[in-house]
Amino acid sequence: MKTQITELLGIEYPVIQGGMAWVADAQLAANVSKAGGIGFIGAANAPAEWVREQIHIARQITDKPFGVNVMLLSPHADEVAAVVSEEKVAAVTTGAGNPAKYMEMWKNSGIRVIPVVASVALARMMEKCGADAVVAEGMESGGHIGEQTTMSLVPQVVDAVSIPVIAAGGIGDGRGMAAAFMLGAQAVQIGTRFIVAKECNVHQAYKDRVIQARDIDSEVTGRSTGHPVRSLRNQMTRKYQALEKEGAGFEELELLTLGALRKAVVDGDVKNGTVMAGQIAGLIKKEQTCSEIIKELMDGMSNVIEHVRGEI
């Protein structure tokens, strides 16, 4: 399937794997790319040399395009930005800040720059900075979220910018993918569904928690601090919300979540760790390979479109 995004990135399918912190390593990213989408290594707060090592591992697995997600609030952001430029990865997605100061360096290295945005204003700003595309991410997604839903955000961003728009947040199957394209998106970014990919190295307990999730199991903490995060409810989220109701300060709340994502992803403590996942977790029922996931997404979208054509 050809779209502006598949042409821009040189990929077969308009499916982008989200660069999830502690989840999206070289193994996952490379296998998504091998399957015809494009995978992204999540740099998060990792040091630059870890990112370089992951890039080298990914290149041993695939010769297809892959990228790195750069978290701009990371204390290592400058060094990571330099490494991805030196390594000339195919693309960079960015979050938690403005990548303008790295734009020239990345562009000179032939890297496609695709910031994640949660508002029309930020999308316009990124276009002016020279972004090749933007990911419009709705609040249905896992992890740090904005305030608008995917349904409302994507068409407004599509109307506001001339660069291609990738839809993210609440997309977990072919139906959601078809809906994103109807809203004007040129591709979808998917995170939660890839957590349960067989090639994903997260702890099995984390995968099982996502697979067992119901539609009501996703909730948001951190609204009182101005940094809302969506994850699956557990003992930690209940304690966090109780502290928020009591008026706990930022430092006390931050202490509760310190290292909590690693605790869930690496150690498998899904009771006291942060199990980041989007609202579509309830749709996910089994582990599959990256190739099976992408094929199911594409087949599902085609079936929906054919059904709609037949009804009109």
Largest alpha-carbon pair distance within the chain? 56
For residue 308, the one-letter residue type is V
Q: Give how far Cα 101 sits from Cα of 34, 44, 308, Å.
A: 31, 18, 45
Superfamily of domain 4-201: Aldolase class I (3.20.20.70)
For residue 312, the model assigns a pLDDT of: 62
Residue ranges of the chain with pLDDT lower than 70? Answer: 311-312
Q: What is the pLDDT of residue 254?
A: 84
CB atoms within 10 A of CB 185: 27
Q: Which residues, 6 or more positions from 82, have their beta carbon under 8 angstroms from its beta carbon?
A: 48, 105
The strand pair at 229-232 and 218-221 is best described as antiparallel
Which pLDDT score is estimated for 269? 94
Domain locations in the chain? 4-201, 214-276
Give the pLDDT score at 161. 98
SS3 of the chain: helix, strand, coil, percent, to 5: 45, 15, 40
User: 230-288 pLDDT, tens per residue?
Assistant: 999 999 999 999 998 888 888 888 888 888 888 999 999 999 999 999 999 999 999 99
CB 44 within 8 Å of CB 144: no
CA 172, 23, 84 angle in degrees (round to 5)? 105
